[in-house]
Amino acid sequence: MNTPTKAFAFLFALTWLTGVVSGQTQVDPKTAIRMLNSQQHQFEQAIVQVADNIYTAVGYHGANTSFIVGTDGVIIIDTLRGPTSAAKAAEAFRKYSDKPVKAIVYTHSHGDHTGGASAFVGSEKPDIYAANGFGAATGLDPAVDPIAMQRGARQFGRKLSPAESTNRGVAPASTTDHDGGEGYLPPTVTVPSSGLKTTIADVDIEFHLAPGETNDAMFIWLPNEKVLFSGDNFYHSFPNLYAIRGTPYRDVLAWSNSVAEMAKFRPHVLVPGHTMPIRGEEASTTALKDYSEAIRSVYDQTIRGINAGKSPDQIAHEVKLPEHLKDKTYLIQFYGSAPHAVRAIYAGLLGWYDGNPTTLNPLAPKQQAEKMAALAGGPQKLTEQMEAALQQQDYQWALELSDHVKWLDEADRKLARQVKIAALRGLAAREYNAPNRNYYLSYANELESGRLSDIWF
Ligand SMILES: [Zn+2]
């Protein structure tokens, strides 16, 4: 049983940080690691009994899979990422029932929910339910696959050593990933935009379309058991309104509205796409209302900033979660980040241009670097400033200066690279936002190994 209302204020109270803080999810290294470890119980491997006839497998891979036992068959909600992990969950479920699989339901088309379906199915041919438009407009253009793979590996910390690994914010660090997608079975039943109410194996079940993390997301409602399966529109972390691996715009306002819609059902149990279920009508409903409000607040702050003529940088530094919500365990920024969300909303609604004519045609990076060096009193002075920033644990500034120094023909570019590596590790240690932490560390390792070209530096 989780404790979603447990206050995390004590973690913040311990915060004491040397150097300059440059991000909203940075605290002193000991606190950061304690916070990330405190999240671990959300995806410890377990079969959680959700109701008399419903079981959820948590921690068998990154996402959850659920098992609903009806009179003459079972229903599977989501199937993990590949058949190896899915087979382990399926085996665990079979302790509760050996009835045939009548239906599989995909809450949305992300691979961590769809790739293991074959492992649940024997000789039967279950109906496979998915939303109208399933798979469309949710992912990236394959044209950018090469870089998306690289960035994805960094965000999830796939190549980090065990000593560097913590977790992925809403998922464990060590997942079986060699067979992703190999068990995928295509949908056979399309849920129309208006939704669908039906009965499978004598279980009344409703499918409601709910665009959010993806446009093809839906939540599943069991009216008799009063259990709601939210998919990835809710989990125990501030939502990933933007993924730093690179994503098309996720409709933030629709996401907030979809979660508000779920709250209206007042579920007795809320089963997220990742992390532990929440039990109790009050706790589940409050969590959904809070979640919707938090997303809406970030959206509204961004819109106000945009219309006041502020740049994404300004708004990202100003955005705050409402005071009464920021310490809720399901809104701590372990996975999603409010500042990143601001930038995503800005770009999603207006594109890259921030409206300031200065940024219409900025100087090329090398020109900027040369002028910065001249301003500092020459490349040597700029290099000294870069080293001083690292010394003072002003890591973000050290990074920014190292990115200038790398363009200077007469500067010590090897030193700049070393400073960048050290600054990235300094920032990583402070981060309790898992994607940021994993990205900083992965990138530092890539730089150190010499795998990255001078373009990346
Ligand atoms: Zn997921």
Site of tokens 């950018």: 144
Would 320 be classed as within a structural domain?
yes
Which SS3 state, helix, strand or coil, does residue 112 take?
A: helix
Ligand 1 centroid vs 113 CA: distance in angstroms? 6
Residues 236 and 376 in one domain: no
Cβ 309 vs Cβ 355: under 8 Å: yes
Ion ligand 1, residues whose Cβ is below 5 A away: 63, 110, 112, 232, 273
How far away, in angstroms, is 171 Cα from ligand 1 center? Answer: 9
Is residue 94 included in any domain, yes or no?
A: yes
Query: In this structure, which amino acid lies at residue 168?
Result: R
The answer on 326 and 181 residing in a single domain is yes
Q: CA–CA separation, 401 vs 313, rounded Å?
A: 18
| Nearest alpha carbon to residue 35 among 216, 166, 164 | 166
Q: Is residue 11 part of a domain?
A: no
pLDDT at 10: 45
**440 and 345 co-located in one domain:** no
Same domain, 246 and 302: yes
CA of 231 to the centre of ligand 1 (A): 7
Over the stretch 13-49, which tens digit does the pLDDT of each residue have? 444 577 888 889 999 999 999 999 999 999 999 999 9
Averaged over 208-236, what is the pLDDT? 97
Given a cut of 50, whether residue 5 has pLDDT beyond it is no
pLDDT bin (cut points 50, 70, 90) of residue 313 is: very high
The pLDDT tens digits of the residues spanning 106-125 come to 999 999 999 999 999 989 99
Q: Are residues 212 and 252 in the same domain?
A: yes
CA of 85 to the centre of ligand 1 (A): 14
From CA 108, how far away is CA 273, in angstroms rounded?
A: 10
> What is the phi/psi pair of residue 145, to 5°?
-50, -45
* pLDDT for residue 4: 40
Same-domain check for residues 87 and 118? yes
Angle between helices 434-449 and 145-155 (to 10 degrees): 110
Please state, in angstroms and rounded to a whole number, the distance separating the CA atoms of residues 229 and 218.
9
CA 53 – ligand 1 centroid, Å: 24
Name which of 139-153, 224-238, 340-354 the model is least confident about: 139-153
Pairwise CA distance, residues 256 & 242, whole Å:
14
Ligand 1 centroid to residue 150 C-alpha, Å: 19
| Gap from CA of 264 to ligand 1 centroid (Å) | 23
Residue 4 lies in a domain: no
* Tokens 């190292």, residue located: 402
Determine the pLDDT at residue 196: 98
Residue 438's domain is classified under what CATH number? 1.25.40.880
Same domain, 373 and 394: yes
- Together in a domain, 54 and 127: yes
Which among 339, 296, 298, 299 is positioned nearest to 317, based on CA atoms? Answer: 339
Are residues 338 and 375 part of one domain?
no
Q: How much is the pLDDT for 16?
A: 56
Which of 306, 325, 350 is the C-terminal boundary of a domain? 350
Residue 58 has a pLDDT of 98
Q: Which of 383, 420, 382, 380 is nearest to 399 (CA)?
A: 420
The Cα 411–Cα 84 span in angstroms is 51
Which one of 319, 350, 381 terminates a domain? Answer: 350
**What average pLDDT score do residues 189-193 get?**
97
Between helices 413-430 and 434-449, what is the axis angle to 10°?
150
Average pLDDT over residues 279-287: 98
| Domains identified in the chain, total number | 2
> When comparing pLDDT for 245 and 457, which is higher?
245
- Examine residue 392 and state whether it is found in any structural domain, yes or no: yes
One domain for residues 66 and 101? yes
Strand ranges, E, within 80-154? 101-105, 127-131
Q: How far is the CA of 18 from the centre of ligand 1 (A)?
A: 35
Mean pLDDT, to the nearest integer, of 181-203?
A: 97
The Å distance, Cα 274 to ligand 1 centre, comes to 6
- Under a CB-based contact definition with an 8 Å cutoff, are residues 117 and 86 in contact? yes
Q: pLDDT by residue (tens digit) across 251-262?
A: 999 999 999 999
Encode pLDDT of 39-91 as tens digits: 999 999 999 999 999 999 999 999 999 999 999 999 999 999 999 999 999 99
- The token pair at 106 is 């995909």
- Ligand 1 centroid to 237 CA: how many Å? 13
Domain stops at, among 315, 350, 385: 350
Q: Which domain holds residue 437?
A: 363-449
Q: Identify whether residues 409 and 314 lie together within a single domain.
A: no
Place of tokens 């972390």: 237
State the distance from the centre of ligand 1 to the C-alpha of 61, rounded, in angstroms: 10
Q: Same domain, yes or no, for 307 and 391?
A: no
Question: Angle at the Cα of 168 (from 156 to 143), degrees rounded to 5?
Answer: 30
List pLDDT tens digits, range 386-418.
999 999 999 999 999 999 999 999 999 999 999
Q: What is the mean pLDDT of the chain?
A: 94
Ligand 1 centroid to residue 62 C-alpha, Å: 7
For the residues 131-143, what does the mean pLDDT come to?
84
User: What's the pTM?
Assistant: 0.94
Q: What is the mean pLDDT of residues 441-453?
A: 92
Q: What are phi and psi of 189, to 5 degrees?
A: -125, 125
pLDDT of residue 137: 60
Query: Does some domain include residue 242?
Result: yes
Q: What's the CA gap between 442 and 27, in Å, rounded? A: 20
Cα 63 to ligand 1 centre (Å): 5
What pLDDT was estimated at residue 138?
A: 59
Answer whether 36's CB lies under 8 Å from 334's CB: yes
CATH number of the domain enclosing 295: 3.60.15.30
